Amino acid sequence: MAQVAFIGLGNMGGPMAANLVKAGHQVQVFDLAEPALVAAEEAGCRRADNPLGAVKGADFVITMLPADKHVQNVYFGEQGIAKSLAKTTLAIDCSTISSDTAVDVGAQLSKLGIRFIDAPVSGGVAGAKAGTLTFICGGSDGDVEHAGHVLNDMGKNVFRAGDIGAGQIAKICNNMLLSVLMAGTAEALQLGQANGLDPKVLSEIMLQSSGRNWTLEVYNPCPGVMDNVPSSNDYQGGFLVDLMSKDLGLAQKTALASGATTPMGSLTHNLYQSWSQMGHGREDFSSIFKLLQPKK
């Protein structure tokens, strides 16, 4: 079993760290939010007073933070951990950030003799809790294989997309597609409802028809169709609109830089940005259902 430092204990990081404890690892944690630290302690993690305390003696460092600036700050900011890591440590960033930042973090750590992979995840909060996440990694074959010692205790699939940064590219491709599926599913359900259909019945019909997709299978955006999904919990406790908006911004930036044509991604980026600006940034991303309500 390994000694693991885990930094960033939010909706995703909290349950991921708890699963590492269940698997028998020694997990030292840090987060800026006191409630997150209390919950992690209850799950059997050891809390540290700062990031440097968490990484002391760690074989693996895992970061699960909101966006680029938080990752850069944790590694290289005033209390940055980079200079305190042992040469034997493997640093694994599971946040969804830009590929360029992942490459830059990897290069800076490499100068210090520290190995790094990007390993963003898919599977949502439910997958984090159940330990069934998919890890989409960028890094050397050897480093990704080594990361499997801890990633396999939090997920069921570990993919290597390519070198450092490639995991982030694959991740934003997936999330851009997810946003299109979510907006499209919400739109279809609103159309059916506006024409007198029961959304439960319509969902079942589309699930068994050619419109079948992940959102209908496990994440229906219409309240009351499914239990235990954010839409049936006032759109709380899932994947924030602001985070989806961030990922779609990354996808558009990447498309622009590479000359890829992504009109659907551009449209969902606009939808999610507007929804956030209308005050829904802290709701789950399936709340886009409400934006598509028919005009009375």
Decide whether 125 or 177 has the Cβ nearer to ligand NAD: 125
Span of 66-74, 85-93, 226-234, 259-267 interacting with ligand NAD by CB under 6 A: 66-74
Q: Candidates 74, 82, 92, 176: give the one binding ligand NAD (CB under 6 A).
A: 74
Q: How far apart are CA 149 and CA 60, in angstroms?
A: 9
x/- mask, ligand NAD, residues 188-227, rule CB under 6 A, reads ----------------------------------------
Task: Confirm if 255 and 262 have CB atoms less than 8 A apart.
Answer: yes
Strand partners, 121: 135
**Closest distance between ligand NAD and the C-beta of residue 295, in Å?**
30
Shortest Å, Cβ 120 to ligand NAD? 6
| Cβ neighbours of residue 58 closer than 8 Å, sequence gap 6 or more | 3, 4, 5, 28, 85, 86, 89
94's CB contacts (< 8 A; 6+ apart) are 12, 13, 16, 62, 63, 64, 119, 120, 121, 135
Nearest to 271 by CA among 198, 199, 221: 221
CB of 154 to ligand NAD, least distance (A): 12
CB contact set of 282 (below 8 Å; sequence gap of 6+): 240, 241, 242
Chain centroid to Cα 161, Å, comes to 16
Nearer Cβ to ligand NAD (32/201): 32
Cα–chain-centroid distance for residue 235? 17
The catalytic residue positions are 171
CB of 123 to ligand NAD, least distance (A): 7
Q: Does 36 bind ligand NAD (CB under 6 A)?
A: yes
CB of 192 to ligand NAD, least distance (A): 26
Integer Cα distance of 21 and 18 in angstroms: 5
Interface with ligand NAD includes 249 (CB under 6 A)?
A: no
Please say which residue, 59 or 68, places its beta carbon nearer to ligand NAD.
68
Question: Hey, which residues does 249 pair with through a beta bridge?
Answer: none
12 binds ligand NAD (CB under 6 A): yes
CB of 53 or CB of 66, closer to ligand NAD: 66
**Closer residue to ligand NAD (CB): 10 or 106:** 10
Nearer to ligand NAD, 12 or 182 (CB): 12
Under rule CB under 6 A, which residues in 77-106 are in contact with ligand NAD?
Answer: 95-96
Shortest spacing between CB 101 and ligand NAD, in angstroms: 11
Q: Using CB positions, name the residue nearest to ligand NAD.
A: 10
Q: Which of 58, 61, 121, 176 binds ligand NAD (CB under 6 A)?
A: 121
Give the DSSP H/E element, type plus range, for residue 191.
Answer: helix 166-194
98: tokens are 């830009």
Residue 258 to residues 112, 136, 155, 183, 255, Cα–Cα distance (Å): 30, 21, 31, 25, 5
**Residues forming the site for ligand NAD (CB under 6 A):** 7-13, 30-33, 36, 64-66, 70, 73-74, 95-96, 121, 124-125, 238-239, 243
